[in-house]
């Protein structure tokens, strides 16, 4: 788990005996929410006596090996299934139904059963409604940990049945210190480009700058839309005489151009979800680039 999230885990540990049946860990992408949720799951299943996972008991060893009988993880197939399969990009209702079978049997260790859903907003409608039934009438000894980058996209009824646990961006100095430990070059630039999210900064640094050209693969569309949105926001900030937030643009921009760049940034934000289901990635990316305001 990442060090900046340790205080959140400690807070959960102090309330371990009184935790609700459903937690919603939410915050920006790339700040370690999943690792925090995994560690919290291990804490709930740990058979030691401390307020942190002992990493020594049978439960901890099984969890770290990925085979604890009282733990289940729900994720889109695309996060774990290898090609040449065509994995789903959403959590399907069949996965939730299998989870229900797990939750309604007794615990193998006589303790809790923990279900981790990540990212929760990727459930399709049927899956979300199926999970809602478990949240409304939770089995005894069952704990749900939902991880979400965009909680507003969850069903209101799911949100209302969870206790929200905000996971904020880490302090900048803590993030830079961690990035230095990961041997990330030009860490300040990539942390800025990632909006302060260290894990995303690592990914961006590994991939390098996104080329502003049409792309032929679906997987390359969202990074392109992300880059275009950040360029647009930075150019709008420059137009207002402010420093660029993402370090994705430089130079001079007239104040008259600010409105056009803000409109383009909004358009990219609206089109990012569509990047996952394009009919033709090359045409879709070309259309995004063509909508970009004049750079002169």
Do 49 and 191 share a structural domain?
Answer: no
Helix (H) or strand (E) holding 142: strand 142-148
Query: CA of 17: how far to CAs of 21, 29, 69, 167, in Å?
Result: 11, 29, 21, 21
User: Which residues span the domain enclosing 280?
Assistant: 218-290
Do 41 and 120 share a structural domain?
Answer: yes
Is residue 188 a part of any domain in this protein?
yes
Do 13 and 140 share a structural domain?
Answer: yes
Do 273 and 195 share a structural domain?
Answer: no
Do 108 and 17 share a structural domain?
Answer: yes
Measured CA to CA, the distance from residue 74 to residue 115 in angstroms comes to 8
Measured CA to CA, the distance from residue 152 to residue 129 in angstroms comes to 16
State the total domains in the chain. Answer: 3
Q: What is the pTM of this model?
A: 0.89
Q: Is the dihedral of CA 208, 210, 211, 215 positive or negative?
A: positive
Do 151 and 8 share a structural domain?
Answer: yes
Do 110 and 191 share a structural domain?
Answer: no
Find, among 50, 31, 22, the residue nearest to 165 by Cα.
22
Do 137 and 8 share a structural domain?
Answer: yes
Is residue 213 a part of any domain in this protein?
no
Measured CA to CA, the distance from residue 264 to residue 261 in angstroms comes to 5
Full pLDDT tens readout for the chain, 296 residues: 899 999 999 999 988 778 889 999 999 999 999 999 999 999 999 998 878 899 999 999 999 999 999 999 999 988 877 765 777 889 999 999 988 888 887 777 778 899 999 999 999 999 999 999 989 988 888 999 999 999 999 999 999 999 999 999 999 999 999 999 999 999 999 999 999 999 999 999 998 888 899 998 888 899 999 999 999 999 999 999 999 999 998 888 899 999 999 999 999 998 888 887 767 999 999 999 999 987 55
Burial of 139 (0-12, 13-18, 19+ CB in 10 A): middle
List 211's β-bridge partners, or say none: none
| Tokens, residue 265 | 């940034």
CATH number at residue 16: 3.40.50.300
- Residues 237, 223: contact at Cβ < 8 Å? no
């Amino acid at each position: 788990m990442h060090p900046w999230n340790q205080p959140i885990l400690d807070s959960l540990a102090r309330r371990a005996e009184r935790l609700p049946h459903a937690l919603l860990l939410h915050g920006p992408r790339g700040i370690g929410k999943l690792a925090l949720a995994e560690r919290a799951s291990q804490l709930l299943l740990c058979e030691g006596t401390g307020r942190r996972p002992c990493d020594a008991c049978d439960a901890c060893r099984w969890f770290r090996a990925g085979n604890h009988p009282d733990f289940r993880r729900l994720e889109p197939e695309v996060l774990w299934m290898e090609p040449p399969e065509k994995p789903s990009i959403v959590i399907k209702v069949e996965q939730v139904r299998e989870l229900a079978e797990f939750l309604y049997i007794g615990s193998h260790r006589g303790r809790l059963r923990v279900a981790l859903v990540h990212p929760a907003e990727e459930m399709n409608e049927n899956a979300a409604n199926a999970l809602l039934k478990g949240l409304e009438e939770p089995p005894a000894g069952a704990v749900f940990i939902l991880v979400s980058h965009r909680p507003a996209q969850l069903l209101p009824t799911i949100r209302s049945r969870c206790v929200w646990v905000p996971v904020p961006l880490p302090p900048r100095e803590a993030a830079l210190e961690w990035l230095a430990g990961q041997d990330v070059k030009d860490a300040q630039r990539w942390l800025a480009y990632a909006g302060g999210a260290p894990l995303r900064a690592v990914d961006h640094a590994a991939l390098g700058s996104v080329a502003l050209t049409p792309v032929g693969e679906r997987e390359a569309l969202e990074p392109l839309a992300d880059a275009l949105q950040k360029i647009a926001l930075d150019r709008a900030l420059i137009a207002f005489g402010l420093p660029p937030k993402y370090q994705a643009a430089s130079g001079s921009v007239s104040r008259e151009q600010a409105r056009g760049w803000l409109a383009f940034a909004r358009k990219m934000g609206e089109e990012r979800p569509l990047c996952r289901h394009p009919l033709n990635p090359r045409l879709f990316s070309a259309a995004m680039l063509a909508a970009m305001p004049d750079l002169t």
